[in-house]
Amino acid sequence: MREANPEADFLLECTDFSQRHPHDWKYVSEQLGVEPVVICASRISACCRKRAYWASFEVTEPDRVEVDPNSVLDPGRVSLRNKLPTIMASGQSSWNTREVVEDEWGERLPLNITEMERAMMFEDGYTEAEGLRMQDRFRLVGNAFHVGVLKHLMLCYVAHLVKRWSEDRDSVKQKGSIFMENQDGPRALWNKIPGGLEGHNPGMRRPEWGLIRGGTAGTGPLNPNPSPSRGAEGRSNWGAIPGGQRPQARVKCELESPEGFGQK
Protein backbone atom coordinates (compact mmCIF):
# COMPACT_ATOMS: atom_id res chain seq x y z
CA MET A 1 0.00 0.00 0.00
CA ARG A 2 2.76 2.45 0.94
CA GLU A 3 4.62 1.62 -2.29
CA ALA A 4 1.53 2.56 -4.31
CA ASN A 5 0.71 5.63 -2.21
CA PRO A 6 3.29 6.78 0.37
CA GLU A 7 0.86 9.41 1.68
CA ALA A 8 -1.95 6.93 2.42
CA ASP A 9 -3.32 6.75 5.96
CA PHE A 10 -4.32 3.45 7.53
CA LEU A 11 -6.15 1.96 10.51
CA LEU A 12 -5.85 -1.72 11.40
CA GLU A 13 -7.74 -3.51 14.17
CA CYS A 14 -7.13 -6.86 15.84
CA THR A 15 -7.54 -8.60 19.17
CA ASP A 16 -4.83 -7.94 21.74
CA PHE A 17 -2.44 -10.86 21.19
CA SER A 18 0.56 -9.20 22.87
CA GLN A 19 0.63 -11.74 25.72
CA ARG A 20 0.00 -14.94 23.77
CA HIS A 21 2.18 -14.10 20.78
CA PRO A 22 4.65 -11.36 21.79
CA HIS A 23 7.01 -12.01 18.86
CA ASP A 24 4.18 -11.73 16.33
CA TRP A 25 2.96 -8.59 18.08
CA LYS A 26 6.41 -7.03 17.74
CA TYR A 27 6.74 -8.13 14.11
CA VAL A 28 3.39 -6.58 13.09
CA SER A 29 4.26 -3.30 14.81
CA GLU A 30 7.68 -3.17 13.15
CA GLN A 31 6.24 -3.85 9.71
CA LEU A 32 3.61 -1.15 10.11
CA GLY A 33 6.07 1.27 11.68
CA VAL A 34 3.77 2.22 14.57
CA GLU A 35 2.95 0.99 18.06
CA PRO A 36 -0.68 -0.01 18.63
CA VAL A 37 -3.08 1.58 21.08
CA VAL A 38 -5.24 -0.89 23.01
CA ILE A 39 -8.77 0.33 23.73
CA CYS A 40 -11.56 -1.52 25.52
CA ALA A 41 -15.11 -0.52 24.63
CA SER A 42 -16.10 -0.84 28.30
CA ARG A 43 -14.65 2.67 28.80
CA ILE A 44 -17.61 4.16 26.95
CA SER A 45 -20.28 1.46 26.68
CA ALA A 46 -22.10 -1.39 28.41
CA CYS A 47 -19.94 -4.20 27.02
CA CYS A 48 -16.29 -5.19 26.89
CA ARG A 49 -14.40 -5.35 23.61
CA LYS A 50 -10.64 -5.08 23.96
CA ARG A 51 -8.94 -4.39 20.64
CA ALA A 52 -5.58 -3.14 19.40
CA TYR A 53 -5.44 -0.38 16.79
CA TRP A 54 -2.46 0.36 14.55
CA ALA A 55 -2.89 3.74 12.85
CA SER A 56 -0.85 6.16 10.77
CA PHE A 57 -2.28 8.98 12.90
CA GLU A 58 -2.27 9.64 16.64
CA VAL A 59 -4.86 7.61 18.54
CA THR A 60 -5.71 8.30 22.18
CA GLU A 61 -7.95 6.45 24.60
CA PRO A 62 -11.45 7.93 24.96
CA ASP A 63 -12.48 9.54 28.21
CA ARG A 64 -14.19 7.09 30.53
CA VAL A 65 -17.98 7.20 30.66
CA GLU A 66 -19.82 4.96 33.11
CA VAL A 67 -22.62 3.05 31.37
CA ASP A 68 -25.01 0.76 33.29
CA PRO A 69 -25.23 -2.60 31.47
CA ASN A 70 -28.89 -2.83 32.43
CA SER A 71 -29.55 0.19 30.19
CA VAL A 72 -29.28 -2.00 27.08
CA LEU A 73 -31.37 -4.92 28.35
CA ASP A 74 -35.05 -5.56 27.69
CA PRO A 75 -37.46 -4.82 30.56
CA GLY A 76 -37.52 -7.45 33.29
CA ARG A 77 -33.94 -8.60 32.61
CA VAL A 78 -30.96 -7.78 34.83
CA SER A 79 -27.25 -8.15 34.12
CA LEU A 80 -25.30 -10.59 36.25
CA ARG A 81 -22.04 -8.68 35.59
CA ASN A 82 -20.71 -5.16 36.00
CA LYS A 83 -20.04 -5.11 32.26
CA LEU A 84 -21.51 -7.28 29.53
CA PRO A 85 -19.04 -9.66 27.84
CA THR A 86 -17.49 -9.19 24.41
CA ILE A 87 -20.08 -9.81 21.71
CA MET A 88 -18.89 -12.79 19.67
CA ALA A 89 -19.71 -13.88 16.10
CA SER A 90 -20.92 -17.23 17.45
CA GLY A 91 -23.72 -15.39 19.24
CA GLN A 92 -25.63 -17.13 22.02
CA SER A 93 -23.62 -20.33 21.67
CA SER A 94 -20.42 -18.56 22.71
CA TRP A 95 -18.96 -19.72 26.03
CA ASN A 96 -18.92 -16.19 27.46
CA THR A 97 -22.54 -15.26 26.71
CA ARG A 98 -24.55 -18.28 27.79
CA GLU A 99 -25.50 -16.97 31.23
CA VAL A 100 -25.30 -13.20 31.20
CA VAL A 101 -28.70 -11.93 32.35
CA GLU A 102 -31.41 -13.03 34.74
CA ASP A 103 -35.08 -12.62 33.92
CA GLU A 104 -37.92 -11.83 36.31
CA TRP A 105 -38.44 -15.55 37.03
CA GLY A 106 -34.81 -16.03 38.03
CA GLU A 107 -33.74 -17.89 34.89
CA ARG A 108 -30.23 -17.19 33.62
CA LEU A 109 -30.11 -16.50 29.90
CA PRO A 110 -27.85 -15.20 27.12
CA LEU A 111 -28.24 -11.82 25.46
CA ASN A 112 -30.73 -11.63 22.63
CA ILE A 113 -29.83 -10.07 19.26
CA THR A 114 -31.38 -6.68 20.05
CA GLU A 115 -29.45 -6.44 23.31
CA MET A 116 -26.26 -7.29 21.46
CA GLU A 117 -26.93 -4.51 18.95
CA ARG A 118 -27.49 -2.02 21.75
CA ALA A 119 -24.34 -3.14 23.56
CA MET A 120 -22.36 -2.49 20.38
CA MET A 121 -24.16 0.88 20.12
CA PHE A 122 -26.11 0.00 16.97
CA GLU A 123 -29.77 0.89 16.62
CA ASP A 124 -32.38 -1.76 17.38
CA GLY A 125 -32.83 -4.06 14.40
CA TYR A 126 -29.74 -2.73 12.62
CA THR A 127 -28.67 -6.21 11.47
CA GLU A 128 -32.15 -7.28 10.42
CA ALA A 129 -32.57 -7.76 6.69
CA GLU A 130 -34.57 -9.98 4.37
CA GLY A 131 -32.94 -13.36 3.85
CA LEU A 132 -30.68 -13.22 6.92
CA ARG A 133 -30.90 -15.99 9.46
CA MET A 134 -30.47 -15.29 13.18
CA GLN A 135 -26.99 -16.81 13.07
CA ASP A 136 -26.09 -14.42 10.26
CA ARG A 137 -27.15 -11.49 12.43
CA PHE A 138 -25.05 -12.78 15.34
CA ARG A 139 -22.10 -13.01 12.99
CA LEU A 140 -22.61 -9.49 11.66
CA VAL A 141 -22.77 -7.81 15.04
CA GLY A 142 -20.00 -9.97 16.51
CA ASN A 143 -17.54 -9.17 13.70
CA ALA A 144 -18.28 -5.45 13.61
CA PHE A 145 -16.30 -2.50 14.91
CA HIS A 146 -17.78 -1.16 18.13
CA VAL A 147 -19.67 1.95 17.03
CA GLY A 148 -18.60 4.14 19.95
CA VAL A 149 -14.93 3.25 19.59
CA LEU A 150 -15.02 3.69 15.81
CA LYS A 151 -16.55 7.14 16.25
CA HIS A 152 -13.70 8.05 18.62
CA LEU A 153 -11.12 6.77 16.13
CA MET A 154 -12.65 8.85 13.33
CA LEU A 155 -12.53 11.95 15.54
CA CYS A 156 -8.82 11.24 16.10
CA TYR A 157 -8.37 11.05 12.34
CA VAL A 158 -10.26 14.31 11.75
CA ALA A 159 -8.00 16.00 14.32
CA HIS A 160 -5.00 14.60 12.44
CA LEU A 161 -6.26 16.00 9.13
CA VAL A 162 -6.99 19.42 10.62
CA LYS A 163 -3.50 19.58 12.08
CA ARG A 164 -1.91 18.47 8.81
CA TRP A 165 -3.88 20.95 6.72
CA SER A 166 -3.12 23.82 9.08
CA GLU A 167 0.60 23.03 8.86
CA ASP A 168 0.37 22.98 5.07
CA ARG A 169 -0.83 26.58 5.17
CA ASP A 170 1.15 28.05 8.05
CA SER A 171 4.35 26.06 8.50
CA VAL A 172 7.46 26.54 6.39
CA LYS A 173 8.21 22.87 7.05
CA GLN A 174 5.42 21.83 4.71
CA LYS A 175 5.29 21.88 0.93
CA GLY A 176 1.97 23.68 0.64
CA SER A 177 1.45 27.01 -1.06
CA ILE A 178 1.25 29.36 1.89
CA PHE A 179 -1.21 32.27 1.93
CA MET A 180 -2.06 32.08 -1.75
CA GLU A 181 -5.36 30.23 -2.16
CA ASN A 182 -7.86 31.98 0.10
CA GLN A 183 -6.51 35.54 -0.18
CA ASP A 184 -6.13 35.83 3.59
CA GLY A 185 -2.46 36.73 3.85
CA PRO A 186 0.13 39.15 2.42
CA ARG A 187 -1.32 39.03 -1.10
CA ALA A 188 -4.66 40.30 0.23
CA LEU A 189 -2.88 43.29 1.74
CA TRP A 190 -0.84 43.97 -1.39
CA ASN A 191 -4.00 44.02 -3.49
CA LYS A 192 -5.42 46.80 -1.34
CA ILE A 193 -2.46 49.18 -1.76
CA PRO A 194 -2.98 51.78 -4.54
CA GLY A 195 -0.69 51.04 -7.48
CA GLY A 196 -0.50 47.36 -6.52
CA LEU A 197 -1.95 44.22 -8.03
CA GLU A 198 -5.52 45.53 -8.02
CA GLY A 199 -6.02 47.66 -11.10
CA HIS A 200 -3.51 50.52 -10.98
CA ASN A 201 -0.34 48.68 -11.93
CA PRO A 202 -0.88 44.95 -12.48
CA GLY A 203 2.72 44.40 -13.61
CA MET A 204 4.26 45.57 -10.37
CA ARG A 205 6.34 42.96 -8.51
CA ARG A 206 7.05 42.61 -4.81
CA PRO A 207 10.66 43.98 -4.89
CA GLU A 208 9.21 47.27 -6.18
CA TRP A 209 7.14 47.75 -3.04
CA GLY A 210 10.18 49.41 -1.51
CA LEU A 211 9.22 52.44 -3.59
CA ILE A 212 6.24 52.96 -1.33
CA ARG A 213 8.44 53.76 1.64
CA GLY A 214 11.59 55.80 1.19
CA GLY A 215 12.12 55.11 -2.51
CA THR A 216 14.26 51.92 -2.43
CA ALA A 217 13.47 48.29 -1.70
CA GLY A 218 14.52 46.95 1.67
CA THR A 219 14.91 50.27 3.50
CA GLY A 220 12.23 49.46 5.99
CA PRO A 221 8.97 47.60 6.61
CA LEU A 222 5.98 48.33 4.47
CA ASN A 223 3.64 50.86 6.10
CA PRO A 224 0.63 51.57 3.87
CA ASN A 225 -0.88 53.81 6.57
CA PRO A 226 1.81 56.27 7.76
CA SER A 227 1.09 57.67 11.17
CA PRO A 228 -0.33 61.24 11.24
CA SER A 229 2.30 62.08 13.85
CA ARG A 230 5.00 61.85 11.20
CA GLY A 231 3.53 64.82 9.37
CA ALA A 232 4.57 65.71 5.84
CA GLU A 233 7.59 63.41 5.92
CA GLY A 234 5.48 60.29 6.15
CA ARG A 235 2.93 61.44 3.61
CA SER A 236 5.58 62.59 1.11
CA ASN A 237 6.73 59.02 0.58
CA TRP A 238 3.48 58.24 -1.19
CA GLY A 239 4.79 60.24 -4.13
CA ALA A 240 7.20 57.41 -4.86
CA ILE A 241 4.37 55.04 -5.83
CA PRO A 242 4.55 54.23 -9.56
CA GLY A 243 2.30 56.69 -11.34
CA GLY A 244 3.51 59.60 -9.24
CA GLN A 245 0.13 60.39 -7.70
CA ARG A 246 -0.57 60.61 -4.00
CA PRO A 247 -3.68 58.52 -3.23
CA GLN A 248 -6.77 60.49 -2.39
CA ALA A 249 -7.74 58.22 0.50
CA ARG A 250 -5.86 56.16 3.05
CA VAL A 251 -5.52 52.46 2.43
CA LYS A 252 -7.92 50.20 4.28
CA CYS A 253 -5.96 47.38 5.98
CA GLU A 254 -7.16 44.06 7.34
CA LEU A 255 -8.36 45.73 10.57
CA GLU A 256 -10.54 48.80 10.85
CA SER A 257 -8.65 51.95 11.89
CA PRO A 258 -9.26 53.20 15.45
CA GLU A 259 -11.86 55.92 15.88
CA GLY A 260 -10.36 59.32 15.15
CA PHE A 261 -7.43 57.90 13.14
CA GLY A 262 -6.06 60.47 10.69
CA GLN A 263 -8.29 63.29 11.93
CA LYS A 264 -6.74 66.66 12.58
Query: CA nearest 51: which of 144, 114, 184, 117?
Result: 144
> Are 120 and 135 spatial neighbours (Cβ–Cβ below 8 Å)?
no
15 phi and psi angles, rounded to 5 deg: -65, 160
Phi-psi region of 85 (alpha: psi -120 to 50; beta: other; left: phi over 0): beta
Under 8 Å CB-to-CB from 175, ≥6 apart: which residues?
Answer: 168
* Model confidence pLDDT, tens digit, residues 213-228: 444 444 444 444 444 4
* Model confidence pLDDT, tens digit, residues 145-181: 999 999 999 999 999 998 877 755 555 555 544 444 4
> Are 91 and 97 spatial neighbours (Cβ–Cβ below 8 Å)?
yes
DSSP secondary structure code for residue 32 in this structure: H
Query: CA nearest 225: which of 233, 239, 235, 215?
Result: 235
Residue extents of the structural domains in the chain: 11-64+146-169, 69-142, 186-240
- Going residue by residue through the chain, which has 264 residues, state the pLDDT in tens, using 9 for 90 and above: 778 888 889 999 999 999 999 999 999 999 999 999 999 999 999 999 999 999 999 999 999 999 999 999 999 999 999 999 999 999 998 888 889 999 999 999 999 999 999 999 999 999 999 999 999 999 999 999 999 999 999 999 999 998 877 755 555 555 544 444 444 444 444 455 555 444 444 444 444 444 444 444 444 444 444 444 444 444 444 444 455 555 454 444 444 444 554 554
Establish how many alpha carbons lie within 13 A of residue 1's alpha carbon, considering only the half-sphere containing its beta carbon.
9
Cβ of 163: how many Cβ atoms within 10 Å? 12
